[in-house]
Structure 1
C-alpha cells in the first residue's frame, strides 16, 4: 500500500461545532446534524479503504475540535509524536485528549514550546524523506524549528503561506512524487523534483484532498474539473459531501490525524 498511513484519529463534531472559528460567509448556516452525518460517512469511507480509525469523543467546549488533524503530528515508524501549540489561541486545549491517547499507545511525546506555534494542517508529509511545512498565520518559524529538531531524520522545507490558513488547503501529496497544488496560493518553486498537478483556480477547495493509496483520492464532491483532471492522471477520485466542514474553513484532510509511516 503506497499511502502514508494505515491508522488515523478522528473526532466527531459536537453540538457546539456551529460556533467554530471561520471566515466563511456561510458560517451561520452550519447544520450540526448534517455535519455529524457527513462525518459518519467520512469514517465509513476510511474504514472501507482499510484504514484503522480511532474515534475520540466529541469535545463540546472546543467547537473546532472536529478538525483533529491540527492537534498532532504522529510518527508511526519512530513511535514519536508532536503535540502542537495552536496558533489560534481559542483552540488551545483540544490537543490534551490526543496526547493522552498517544501516551497510552506508548508514543514518545514532544510538545511545542512558546513562542513556537505549529498546527498539523501546515504539515505535508511525503515518502521521499522530505516534509514541507507552511509558515503561516498559525505556524511560526520557532514551531517549524522544533519540529525539525525532533524529526531530524527528514528534511524540512519551509513554505511561506499568506493567502490561506494552512499549507494543506493548497497542496496535497498523492504518492509517487506527485503533488496536487494551487499555484495562486502556494509557490510551486518549493516543490522541485515533484510532478505537479495544478488544480483549477476556481476549484481551490478541492485541493484539500486525501490520498488513500492505490490511486484512490478522497476529495470533496462538487468539483468536476478537479475530478476530471485526477482521472486523466490515472487517479480514482472518491467523492464525499463535506459542505458543513467547508463552512467551518475545514476540509477532507482536516478531519483526521494520520499515523504517518515515513515519520
Structure 2
C-alpha cells in the first residue's frame, strides 16, 4: 500500500498521540500548570482519562495504527496537543520551535521518540524562528498552507520554505489577525479543517480574504461554522478518511452541515481534554501516514 503524509483527509493509517495519563500525570500536575498555560479552567484528571480512552478507542476501531508519545519530565500538560511540536512530510519530520514559552521543550521530546523509532528527520526549526504544527495544513500533496501568527513567525516560515520548496512543495502563507492576542490559542487550524480534497470546514470571519479566495480557486466547498460554535471548536475537525471525521460534542449546527455534505461524523466528549485547554481532535493527534 502506498502512503503519503501530505494530506489532512485521506484514510489515516498511522498516528502518534500523547495519552492524557502521559501528559496530565496527576491532579497535582494539573493544579500546578493549568493557570499559567492559560486553560479556561482546571481539567479533572479522572474525567480526562475517561474522555481520552474513548477518543483513542475511536482511532483503534478505525484500524488506525496508534503510537504513543511517552511521559517526559521536561514537558508540561500542553504536550497532550501533540500536533504542534512537529510536521509530517514524505521527506521526514520537521521539528518545530514553539512560539508558546511553556511548550519550548516539546519538539525535543518528540525528536527523541522519532529517532528511537527510526523515523527520518528532514529539518529542525531554529530560533529566532518559531513554527507550530497547528499553523500548517496540507491543501493537496504539493501545497502546504502556513499561518503567520503569534506562534509562527516569518523567520520560522522562511525556514519551512527552505526545507520544502527545493522539493517541489508550494508554501502558501495565511496572514492571520490579532484576534485575542499573544496569549490566546489561535492557529491556522483554528479556522480551517480540510475533510476531503474539495471540502473544508472554515470560520470565515477570521479568515484572510486572499487565503479564503485561494481555497475557492482551488475548488474547495466551504462549510461555514456559525459564530456560536467557533469557541466550542466547531472548526476543529479531524478527518480519518475522506468525509469521515471526528469532532468535539456540542456543535450541532456544524455537525448538521457536515452531514448534509455527505460526511460521517463521530462525536466525542472533550470537556476536559479539549475544551478547557483549547485543543480539539486535530490538536490531539500527530498524523503520520495516510493512504495515497
Q: Which runs of 4+ in 1 moved over 6 A?
A: none
**Deviations, residues 185-236 of structure 1 (Å, cap 9, x unaligned):** 2222342322211111211111101011142110111111011111110001
Deviation at 1:4?
6.1
Note if 1:174 corresponds to 2:188: no
- 2:151 is aligned with 1:151: no
Asked whether the 8 Å contact 1:129–1:262 carries over to 2, the reply is no
Cα distance in 2 between the residues matched to 1:141 and 1:262: 32
Partner of 1:233: 261
Match of 1:63 in 2: 77
Q: Which runs of 5+ in 2 are unaligned?
A: 4-8, 180-184
Tell me if structure 2 keeps the 8 A contact 1:103–1:109: no
- Whether 2:66 is the aligned partner of 1:53: answer yes
Superposed displacement of residue 128, structure 1: 4.4
Matched residue, 1:96 = 108
TM-score by length of 2: 0.82
Q: Does 1:195 align with 2:195?
A: no
What pairs up with 1:128-167 in 2 under 5 angstroms? 128-152=141-165, 153-162=168-177, 163=179, 165-167=186-188
Q: Distance in 2 between matches of 1:103 and 1:155?
A: 27
Matches of 1:5 and 1:145, distance apart in 2: 29
**Equivalent in 244, 258, 262 of residue 287 of structure 2:** 258
Partners in 1 of 2:94 and 2:169 — Cα distance?
Answer: 14
Structure 1, unaligned stretches of length 5 or more?
A: none
* Cα distance in 2, alignment partners of residues 261 and 140 from structure 1: 28
Tell me the matched-pair count.
259
Residue aligning to 1:224? 252
Do the aligned partners of residues 213 and 40 (structure 1) sit closer, same or farther apart at CA in structure 2, a change above 3 Å counting?
Answer: same
Distance in 2, Cα, partners of 1:4 & 1:155: 23
Q: CA deviation at 1:127?
A: 2.7
Deviations 1:143-184 (A, max 9, x none): 111112212222111111232611111110111221110011
| Inter-partner Cα distance in structure 1 for 2:164 and 2:127 | 18
2:278 corresponding residue in structure 1: 249
SS of the counterpart of 2:206? coil
Please state if 1:122 is matched with 2:135.
Answer: yes
SS, match of residue 196 in structure 2: coil
User: Residues of 2 paired with 1:117 and 1:262: CA distance?
Assistant: 30
User: Does structure 2 retain, via aligned residues, the 8 Å contact 1:83–1:111?
Assistant: yes
Task: Please tell me whether the aligned partners of residues 172 and 181 of structure 1 are also in contact (alpha carbons under 8 angstroms).
Answer: yes
